[in-house]
Amino acid sequence: MTDTCIFCKIVSNDVTATIVYRDEQATAFRDIHPAAPTHILIVPNKHIESVNALQAEDEQLIGHLFTTAARLAKEEGIDRKGYRLITNTGIDGGQTVFHLHLHLIGGQRMRHPMG
């Protein structure tokens, strides 16, 4: 955890968010600026800056983030028609909060191109 990371503050309950899932490894909450009817952020409880900062010991945690995303997609009713999972890495990749996170986005048809 870092003192300045907004997602760390959400994980530690120092900042309020609409949390939809939490366990010992991950926390998921609704995005305050949703890009679609369903827009949930799934973050590891452990502070990891980005995909570039992942270590070999994080492999199980990353798998857990994806299975959590699938579970939440089913709970939100977007699993059958489809959804998008996005991870932005770095400034040019569109990362604005430097705590690794997945965007679970669905509830409408996604547009292309993404970039």
39 is catalytic: no
From CA 18, how far away is CA 4, in angstroms rounded? 20
- Catalytic residue (choose from 33, 101, 103, 112): 101
Q: Which residues are catalytic?
A: 101
